Amino acid sequence: MFLRKNRKRIDGELYEYWTLCESVRTEQGPRQRVVATLGKLEEDDLRVGWDQIEALLDGRKPGPWQPDLADKASPSQRSPGAWELADLSRIEVGRVREFGSVFLGLALWRRLGLHELLESLIEPGREDVPWADVAAVLTVGKFCGQASELGIAESWYSRTALEDIAGIPAESVNDDRLYRALDQVGAHKDRLCEHLMKRYESWFGVHFEFLLYDVTSTYFEGQAEGNEKAARGYSRDHRADCKQVCIGLVCTPEGLPLNFEVFAGNRADVTTVGEMVQKMEERFGKAQRVWVMDRGMVSEDNISMLRKRQAHYLVGTPKSQLRAYEVELAEKENWTDVQPGVEARLVAHPDGNGQERYVLCRSKARGAKERAMLERQMCALTEELLKIDASLRRRPTTEVGPVERRIGRWMGRYPAAARWLKADLVRDEKGTAMALELSCPVKEGEHPTLTKGAYLLRTNCTETDPAKLWRWYMQLTQAEAAFRTAKSDIGLRPVFHQKTERVEAHLLVCFLSLALWRTLEMWMKGKGLGTSARKLVEAIGTIRSMDVSVPVKRQGREVTLKLRTVAKPDADVALLLAHLGLRLPRGSRLVENVVEKMTR
């Protein structure tokens, strides 16, 4: 996505405005589409004083206007001493800090009301910095992609303007304080999840009739000997050499995270469903919700469990079940177009069960891709097997073990083709392998390519429109997108903690950061700015704060005034802030006044 400046002349007068555009792929090639018209920039509405920073973060209306050094008011309107005689040749800029991204993250934190909730949950003690403020630093750090608490304490915090915005001195942010804050926050996971659910409902009007559930994993750096859930299992991160834990996430069709659970790293996905459903019902009550899950979560035990709880479900099924519907797949009629290139239809339950419906879906583009993949595997496997055949014809052998291992190695490399291609050794009367015989063992009525691009859905919902059921199932991509955001933008992986409770608290902070990220996307969508939160964070992240040292003469003395200010954002960034209703602190704040020397 990008911003475009437009000019229009009406009745001889020039008008300038901005539009938010995105590039889309069409059959005619890439095209640009206008997402939203943003209008023109009114800068005076974007910036108010540093002394109202808390109101800016909360989104409240700022108080009365206060003049400062950067105001354009006349001298008579300024407070006494606002005008100084400065030496422009010696002005210096220092202490440049990241401002925009942390300001945005902290604003999201406060508008979700998480600071008020934690202040009420954590009893104050002898700590110098409230634990709710430290939790905000942890979450904003994850929102900005910091991988570890140690990295936040040692380098990241001092590079940002959080000291000015949150009011926590840099020397007070250390790894020990951050680790103890994890312990404080981790004890209130259930209340935090309940609070987020209420905020989603009040802010975005989200309903919870659909619950999407999926599982991912994250791996450890180190042995993780103090973590009872750390184990080796199927790694989605392709790090089978490391121990891991599995994370089950429940979210809304909009991708807003509702709850999560941490499971042992060797836990099968299908065994986590019952535990997660039970915990969601205990915390949020039983309701006629629809659970949407992919085929990795499906088992007959899970289906029976959902029926007993009178819950509705819409799940994927194993690919093997498609073979029972090859007749229907061959038919060209009775299909409903659900989107260009995708068709769906209701089919009968294979056992005649009237309580369930099956939805048969197929994608033309996906089918063409899978058939091409199978064809490439068949060609590659055939070529390698023919090489083995030629070698045997040139040099027959009685040691068939190496030959069979060679055949098995290539069969394992091309498993899709190996299902339809059979290789048998041709031997003479002495048992010498002379050649290799290839065959394609397709049974009568089987169609190897008919099921390509097709999939089967299973549901007990009363809905009879296959297009609507297909759209419900496609919402599962939001859970997958949430995992991608957590791993690529938030820094979910790897985990450096070793203790079980500390790991779960760390993942809770990642969960809260994901809530900030997805809330930002919903906020952007409501303002007509699309849903590319990554682009927005990158744009606002260009805003910096800095200290400007200005040498001035005052009553015969040279005085250096150090003024802390926020750089003026570019016009396109200022437009984005205006449409989100975010205001930056205006002008400068005096942070140091140093007398250098006497002058004549």
Q: What is the structure's pLDDT at 532?
A: 84
CA 422 and chain centroid, separation: 44
Closest alpha carbon to 438 in 417, 459, 421: 421
Does residue 305 belong to any structural domain of this protein?
no
Does residue 478 belong to any structural domain of this protein?
no
Residue entry with tokens 């942890």:
138
Decide if pLDDT at 64 tops 60: no
Same domain, 443 and 356: yes
* For residues 197-204, average pLDDT: 90
Same domain, 84 and 18: no
Phi, psi of 78 (to 5 degrees): -90, 160
Does residue 90 belong to any structural domain of this protein?
yes
Q: How many domains does the chain have?
A: 3
Residue entry with tokens 């659910």:
197
Does residue 80 belong to any structural domain of this protein?
yes
Same domain, 356 and 425: yes
Does residue 133 belong to any structural domain of this protein?
no
Summary mean pLDDT of the chain: 84
pLDDT above 70: percentage of residues in the chain? 87
Same domain, 13 and 92: no
Does residue 369 belong to any structural domain of this protein?
yes
Same domain, 344 and 427: yes
pLDDT above 90: percentage of residues in the chain? 40
Confidence grade of residue 71 (pLDDT, cut at 50, 70, 90): very low
- Who wins on pLDDT, 223 or 181? 181
Report how far apart the first and last C-alpha atoms of the chain are (Å, whole number): 59
Same domain, 36 and 50: no
- Who wins on pLDDT, 578 or 31? 578
Q: What is the CA radius of gyration of the chain?
A: 31
Q: What is the structure's pLDDT at 2?
A: 64
* For residues 393-406, average pLDDT: 90
The one-character DSSP state at 152 is I
| pLDDT tens digits, one per residue of 487-504 | 887 888 888 998 899 999
Given a contact cutoff of 8 angstroms between Cβ atoms, the answer to whether 596 and 558 are in contact is yes
Distance separating alpha carbons of residues 325 and 334, to the nearest angstrom: 14
Does residue 309 belong to any structural domain of this protein?
no
* For residues 142-152, average pLDDT: 91
Does residue 510 belong to any structural domain of this protein?
no
Given a contact cutoff of 8 angstroms between Cβ atoms, the answer to whether 522 and 73 are in contact is no
Same domain, 346 and 454: yes
User: Counting Cβ atoms within 10 Å, is residue 595 exposed (0-12), middle (13-18) or buried (19+)?
Assistant: exposed
Same domain, 446 and 557: no
Q: What is the structure's pLDDT at 512?
A: 95
Same domain, 443 and 549: no
| pLDDT tens digits, one per residue of 561-582 | 888 888 888 888 988 888 888 8
Give me the residues paired with residue 261 across strands. 248
Decide if pLDDT at 184 tops 90: yes
Q: What is the structure's pLDDT at 47?
A: 47
Q: Of 412, 439, 460, which residue constitutes the final position of a domain?
A: 460
Is the whole-model pTM more than 0.75? yes
Q: Of 416, 432, 460, which residue constitutes the final position of a domain?
A: 460
Q: Of 445, 460, 475, which residue constitutes the final position of a domain?
A: 460
* For residues 239-243, average pLDDT: 91
Q: What is the structure's pLDDT at 192?
A: 95
Range of the domain at 551: 43-98+543-598
Same domain, 339 and 449: yes
Same domain, 358 and 440: yes
Given a contact cutoff of 8 angstroms between Cβ atoms, the answer to whether 474 and 457 are in contact is no
Decide if pLDDT at 42 tops 70: no
Same domain, 27 and 51: no
Can the peptide bond before residue 494 be classed as cis, meaning omega within 30 degrees of 0? yes
Q: What is the structure's pLDDT at 156?
A: 95
Residue entry with tokens 């103890």:
180
| pLDDT tens digits, one per residue of 494-542 | 889 988 999 999 999 999 999 999 999 999 988 888 888 888 999 999 9
